[in-house]
Amino acid sequence: MIKVLVLSVKNFFSKGHERTVLAKKNIIASLLVKGGSILVGLALVPLTIHYVNATQYGIWLTLSSLIGWFSFFDVGLGNGFTIPLHSPGALPASCSLVVGPDGVDPLDVPVAHWCAVYAHEAARRLLMAQASLGRPRLSVRERQCLEWVARGKEDGAIAIILGIQISTAHNTVQRAMKKYRVATRVQAVVRAMAEGEISLEDVAS
């Protein structure tokens, strides 16, 4: 079986026009180099965090992500955008997305932001899985306000729906954000979903 596999690989790289054979070898070599660079990059993450603090690591990560676009110009991935992610209690991060030749539909930008925030939250949960931190609990009013935030409502609309003052709606959302130690309303909603305080069914109903 192994001999057959080895023979098939040799035939794959030896058959065809000289240029075709050369192209195959270049593709495999490129994949090996890219794979090695990915492994080196993954190995550098814990080493970098060990020698610098979270803020410096976040700055370095954002700059390297922006500079990294230049390495993709040779394969036509010159278009895209980067979403910076900052959350107290978690490492700063950024999410870089590649777009097609037609650019980015403005209506898709909020969806991309939600996906980036959710990915950042998932990474935070993996890092904090073994941490012995107490899980914050939302009040009924905080949960209701975040549900309406998830539906795209602002403080004024939330106040009308729940029959409360605008300042009360605003302060309630801010209080939930402080409990979760997050910087934006979107992050508070994602955290509440991740903690099971609200669900997709609550938001969609």
Quote the strand ranges of the chain, DSSP E: 80-85, 93-98
52-56, 166-170, 193-197 — which is least confidently predicted? 52-56
Question: Which one is predicted more confidently, 142 or 121?
Answer: 142
Mean pLDDT over 81-104 rounds to 72
Average pLDDT, the chain: 76
Task: For residues 203 and 143, give the distance between their C-alpha atoms in angstroms, rounded to a whole number.
Answer: 11
pLDDT over 90 percentage in the chain: 21
SS3 104: coil
Range name among 59-63, 85-89, 106-110, 160-164 with the lowest pLDDT average: 85-89
Contacts of 127 (CB under 8 A, 6+ apart): 90, 91
Q: For 55-67, what is the mean pLDDT?
A: 70
Residue the block writes with tokens 């192209």? 23
Query: What integer is the mean pLDDT of 146-166?
Result: 93
What phi-psi label fits residue 79: left (phi over 0), alpha (psi between -120 and 50 degrees) or beta? beta
Q: Which of 3-12, 140-149, 187-196 has the highest mean pLDDT?
A: 140-149
Q: Note the pLDDT tens digit of each residue in 127-138.
A: 666 554 567 889
CA distance 85 to 70: 21
Q: What pLDDT score does 125 carry?
A: 72
Please tell me the predicted confidence (pLDDT) of residue 29. 75
Task: Indicate if the pLDDT at residue 149 is higher than 80.
Answer: yes
Tell which wins on pLDDT, 66 or 84.
Answer: 84
